Chain A
């Protein structure tokens, strides 16, 4: 059994679910807001409705985001927010990224 390194490389703290660029971008936007509308996420992240829906479904299944639907008059609106575990996960992911960037080049 290989010996445990004294200190694991920060890349081990990266969450593959969060590291995917579209999902990471969604979480970055949600981290700066209580709630964000689906349409704004789609426009800023620059993806199609179907791509965004698919990624949101994955994030929702993982408990990282919560989705709420409402009607403004006749028009349906979808609001998305980060859950507590989503915020914790995103913050931990950012911390890991910062640790990687701060590490000496040969250790990256």
Chain B
């Protein structure tokens, strides 16, 4: 591939192939990150609900932070970000952060050690992330 002149049909075929190759590299990381974060939420919230006392909650919070860091570290190996990812990422994280913050605060203030609160709260907290994963999977 240097200064050759290609047939327009060949160039169109090439553009479609290269665009597909880029999406194939970029999309799984974005979808995987959001999906893994979504899966983590019910586990983390259940862990907080099941924890006994401040040390237990602190231990769960540390493990949670470690897993989030490890998942985010996986993004360092990404070689391409899907079109519009940056634009979609910030609002998705803001919505998730707000839901997470409110449900965590309410739970810690009023429902400590009540799994009947923490399990559904974990599922609700996972929803914005699951929706973001779905949106990334459908993004073109």
Contacts and interface: CB of A to CB of B under 8 A. Distances in A.
Interface of A: 19-22, 24-25, 28-37, 39-40, 44-47, 72, 94, 97-98, 100-101, 108
A21 B1 contact: yes
B4 A21 contact: yes
B72 interface: no
Interface of B: 1-6, 8-9, 11-12, 14-15, 18-23, 25-26, 76, 79-86
A45 B1 CA distance: 9
If over half of A's interface residues share one DSSP class (helix, strand or loop), that class is named, otherwise mixed; here it is helix
Contacts of A72: 76
Contacts of B80: 29, 33, 35-37, 40
B12 A98 contact: yes
Contacts of B23: 32-33
A97 B79 contact: no
- The list of the 5 closest CB pairs from A to B, nearest first, reads A32-B19, A40-B79, A32-B22, A28-B18, A28-B15
B18 A20 contact: no
Contacts of A22: 1-2
A47 B11 CA distance: 17
Contact of A47 (B1, B21, B82): B1
B15 A24 contact: yes
A25 B14 CA distance: 7
A97 B21 contact: no
A27 to B, nearest CB: 8
B8 A101 contact: yes
A43 B32 CA distance: 23
A44 B21 CA distance: 8
Given A35-B80, A45-B1, A72-B76, A24 B86 contact: no
B94 to A, nearest CB: 18
